[in-house]
Amino acid sequence: MVAKHKIGIDYGGTKIEGILLDDSGKEILRKRSTYEKNYQSGIDTVKSLVSEFDNYTEQKNTVGICIPGFSSNETGLVNNANCVWINDKPFQKDLERELNREIKVMNDANCFALSEAIDGSGSKFNSVWGVIIGSGFGGSFVFNKQVVEGVNQVAGDWGHQPLPYPTKEEYDLNVQCQVGNCQRPLCAEQFISGIGFTKIFNNKYGTNLRTREIVALEANGDERAKKEFDLYEDRFARLIAVMIGIVDPDAIIFGGGMSNVGRLYDNIPKLLPKYTFSDKVRNKILRNTHGDSSGVRGAAWLWDSDKF
């Protein structure tokens, strides 16, 4: 077991959240701050949270930070963050100087999976595949309580892969990804993210509903919503089956807004045998434990997770 307390920071586009965990993962303190949308304000806010937690414990704690992008191992600069003011900046180096210690910076989807693998729904398993299904769609892989980042730092980032075994209807939907590096037809994110699912529904039925309204319709037995969720689950099962063919993780854990749709956990496991090349599908499909807190908890666990 680890001796020191640890600090996790979730660096988001509108707020920065900090958490202080003790050696067993118990939350001691948590604080959320808004900041001005610029680089220096973000740095100052992180510094202030860290010094508050250090003062509380009267020691210099480890610091892990999750960001909605990644800090390049090659250049030390941030890439692909939707809070664009940290892009192309030496964020990690600048913070290490300000905080006077080595820190770890990691993509937020990776921190989600790490948190669930350490002491969430995946705690009993060696290999955990995290899936974020919210406004976007992404994944991450944790093996033996360590994030597998990959040589390009995109391991598990399956949001912009093609939808497997597309049907004629899926071809004819003619969805085109708008994301810079992708722009490809049949991009999975356009089908599986909450935004993508909702857009397909609204285009098909001439409605202008929000995701949660479609979820409520389905719960009330609406035939259109039921049909679209049937299709959604089938698409999702195809994607998961391909991933199982490569990674075959013990547990697959859903996070993000769409992870609250209960029927996914009943229906997707029933569909997987149809698409998976295995005598039996043993992988567990699980709901997350820590919800929105998984990013900040996983950030704290970037240190010493192997000793847990």
Number of residues that bind Zn ion (CB under 5 A): 5
Could you please report the per-residue DSSP string of 58-93?
A: TS--EEEEEESSEE-TTTS-EES-SSGGGBTS-HHH
11 within 8 A of 46, measured Cβ to Cβ:
yes
CB atoms within 10 A of CB 102: 10
2, 131, 132, 187: residue in contact with Zn ion (rule CB under 5 A):
187
Nearer to Zn ion, 51 or 82 (CB): 82
CA proximity to 13, closest of 80, 65, 79, 81? 81
Q: Which is nearer to Zn ion, 61 or 161 (CB)?
A: 161
77 forms part of the interface with Zn ion (CB under 5 A): no
- Reduced to 3 states, what is the DSSP secondary structure of residue 161? coil
Q: What is the dihedral of CA 277, 278, 281, 286, to 10 degrees?
A: -50
| Residue nearer to Zn ion on the CB measure, 130 or 136 | 136
String of contacts with Zn ion for each residue 144-183, x by CB under 5 A: ----------------x----------------x-x--x-
Q: How far is the CB of 243 from Zn ion (least distance, A)?
A: 16
Stretch 91-130 residues interacting with Zn ion (CB under 5 A): none
Question: Is residue 196 involved in binding Zn ion (CB under 5 A)?
Answer: no
CB of 85 to Zn ion, least distance (A): 24
Instruction: State the nearest-atom distance from the C-beta of 182 to Zn ion, in Å.
Output: 3
CB nearer to Zn ion: give 64 or 136.
136
- Whole-number Å distance between alpha carbons of 8 and 171: 43
Residues of this chain that interact with Zn ion (CB under 5 A) are 160, 177, 179, 182, 187
